[in-house]
Every structure is written in structure tokens, then in C-alpha cells.
Structure 1
Amino acid sequence: MKQLIKKVVAVMLTGAAILFSYSTANAQKSEIQQNETELEDKKMMSSVLHLKIKGMHCESGCANGIDAMLKEQQGIIKSKTSFDQSSAVIEYDPILISEEEIVSLITGRGFEVEVVTEKGDIPQD
């Protein structure tokens, strides 16, 4: 009788462990799907700003400095400034920050900025 009880308890514990593992895995999968959906929603709401920037003297101080400054701003999703190309491509959330604010932040660092409307005018990654 004791061995039967031990077997029943072992089966019940194994079943409980399987159910717990399954529910944990589903919760993690659900969280990953939610994060992917939120990221997709942000991408759909984002805008891309292409800029020509004059007055940069180097990659490390000027171009990287612009990117570092922009990335600290709420609403900037991604920023890639190139000294070699005298340009920047900035992905941003227009609800949180405007094109004018972005341009103002860069000109405030002493650079001349021109918004590029034709994508052919600026190299793509």
C-alpha cells in the first residue's frame, strides 16, 4: 500500500512539474510576443529624418557626439551620423519630438543642418 501511495504521489508531482513548466513557458512566449508587437507598433509610428550636416571635423567628437546627444532625447529611436558623408539618418517618434526640435538640437552644437527630402541625396546603410 505504501508503495502505491509513493507511486501516486510521484505521478502527481511529475504532473504538477510538467504543468508548471508549461505555464511558465507560455508566459514567457506571451511576453516575447507582446514585446515584439510593441516594437512593431513603435516602428509603424516612427519617422525618419535625413540630414546634411556641415561643420563636423571628426567622427569621434562630432558625429558620435551628435548621436550620443540625440540618443539621450526622449523620442529618438535610432541615430546614425556619418562624418565621412556629412549626414545623419535619425529615426524618431514624432509624437515625442519634432523634426524642428531635432534640427535645433544639432544646430545648438554649432553645426549647419539641412533637411534632405530626396533619399537619393543621402547614402543609405
Structure 2
Amino acid sequence: MVDVKVVEEDQMVEMEEVGISTKEIIMVRGDYIKAKEYLERAIMANPGDGHILSIYGDLIWQIEKNAARAQQYFDQAIQNDPNDCYVLASYANFLLDAENEEEKDYQIESDQSHHFQETKHFSHLTTASFI
């Protein structure tokens, strides 16, 4: 019987050799915790690798929605590899996604505030109807 875990790890090595990253493989499987662990080890081994830093920043944004923390990793990535098109594209994608998320949050807050103002505006009618 073949050990499935060994086969998967061998396949991951082969996939990495053709340009598919461990993070992409694990994220496709949905194992964000394992992806985070791999990337943290990769950062410790190569703290100046902009590609790894940008992948980690993207992962932080995807699983935690922590824009400030993700931004720190993207800043480090750009500082280390300012001309890397993958780093720049990942950062641009993050900025767009974070802006869309912020706009969505603002719209929800605005809708809730507007609803509260309408309720407050008509409260005298409710009170008057009971008199």
C-alpha cells in the first residue's frame, strides 16, 4: 500500500518545480493553517524573499482579513524585490480587494445609520398613535 501523504509531498515537490507554489497547492486544498506554517518557515529561512513575503501577506489577508498586518508583509516584499512583477501584482490585487472590502463595510454602516435615522425620524408618529 502506498502512503498517500508521501505521494502528496512528492507531487508537491514536482508541482513546485514547474512553478506552482506550496501555498497555492495547500490553498486549493483549503488547508490555510498548513500553508501558514510552511510560509512562516520559509520566511525564517529566507527573510528577504519578496515572493514568499507577498504570498504570506496575501494569505494573511485571505484568512484573517487583517489589512494592516498584510500591508506590513507586502511592504517588506516590495522593499526586498521592488521590480518583481509577481510581488507588485499581488500587492495591487491586495490593495484593490482591501479597498472593496472597506467600501462594503462603509456601505453596511451607512445603511444601518440611515435605517436608524429613519426610525428616529418617525418615532414621534409611533408615540402619537398611542395617545
Q: TM-score range by the shorter chain?
A: 0.3 to 0.5
TM-score, normalised to structure 1, is 0.34
Larger helix proportion of the pair? 2
TM-score, normalised to structure 2, is 0.32
Larger strand proportion of the pair? 1
Question: Which one has a bigger Cα radius of gyration?
Answer: 1
* Structure ranking higher on relative contact order (CA contacts 8 Å, 6+ apart): 1
